[in-house]
Structures are given as C-alpha cells and as structure tokens.
Amino acid sequence: MERHQLFDQLERHAQVFRALLADLSPAEITWKQAPGKWCPLEVVCHLYDEECEDFRARVRSTLETPNAPWPKIDPAAWVAERKYAEQDFGAKLNGFLEERQRSLDWLRAQDHAPWTNAYIHPKVGPVSCELLLTNWVAHDLHHIRQLINLRYAYLQANTTVPLDYAGTW
C-alpha cells in the first residue's frame, strides 16, 4: 500500500474515533466488560500514549537515526502507572485527536525522508518504516474493533431487550 494511502487511513480513523466516542455517558466511559479488560477511557489513554511515544516517535527515530535505540515503551504497565482510569476522558480524547493531527502534519512533510530506513530490533531484526506505518494503521483498526465490541457489550448489558433482531454478533 502506498504511504499516502496509509496517511489517509490514519486521518479517517481519527474521524471514526471521534464519532465512535462522542457523547458517551459517564457510566459507559468507565464500563468494563470483565475484570482485567479495558474501558473506553483506558483505550483512549492508550491511543494517546501510543500516538506520541510509540508510532510517531519510532517512525521519526527510524527515519532520522535508524541506528539509535528506539524510545522505550511499556503500554501494559502504563495503564496502572499513568492511572488511566483516573484521567479526564474528554481531555484525553481531544489530546489524542490533536496528537493525531500533529502526526499527520509531520508525516505528510516527510516527502524526501529516507522511507527505506529500517531499525535493527535486537529481538525481531529489521523493522522498516513501512512496517511501522502499516502497523500504525492496523493498531487503529484493532482499537476501533475493540471499542465497537465494548459499545455492543455495554448495550447488551444495559437492556432487557434481546438484540438478536439486529443479527448475529
């Protein structure tokens, strides 16, 4: 897939996240399908951190200094360390969407960057800019699916009306 098509997908995904997460009730923002699962607030916090500290930072590092170690990340630990469940949902969502726009502005300005660069990861070997960019799009899709499943499960848990008329989930 062409790089600019991936940029366009990242831009469309921001619109999907905005629409999917608009006007959630306070109860739905923090609702979990099961213990140990994420609520929408935690997903949004994760998206924000990944936008800033994983995908954009690692693409930038690979383009500019492919031999330098990548910034360290620990998304699983961040949930507790950064107290995701205590964050302000609206502020985090707006922050994520602003960071996504910063990412898009930066990505689109990289026309003459060395997109063939790859970082040699100590465990997985070469990680190209193309792999990072394509997985950035896939990461969005993963969390869009997660949020849709959460919205459905919340509806199901909060109604006495059967949902089978809508079709098989």
Domains and CATH numbers, the chain: 3-166 (1.20.120.450)
Average pLDDT for the chain:
97
pLDDT given at position 158: 96
User: DSSP string covering 4-68, please?
Assistant: HHHHHHHHHHHHHHHHHHTT--HHHHT--SSTTSPPHHHHHHHHHHIIIIIIHHHHHHHHH-TTS
Q: Is 13 exposed, middle or buried (0-12, 13-18, 19+ CB in 10 A)?
A: buried
Q: Per-residue pLDDT tens for 30-81?
A: 999 999 999 999 999 999 999 999 999 999 999 999 999 999 999 999 999 9
Please determine, for residue 1, whether its predicted confidence score (pLDDT) is greater than 80: no
Question: Tokens at residue 119, please?
Answer: 């970082």
For residue 163, the SS3 value is: coil
pTM of this structure: 0.96
Q: Per-residue pLDDT tens for 85-133?
A: 999 999 999 999 999 999 999 999 999 999 999 999 999 999 999 999 9
Q: How confident is the model at residue 20 (pLDDT cuts 50, 70, 90)?
A: very high
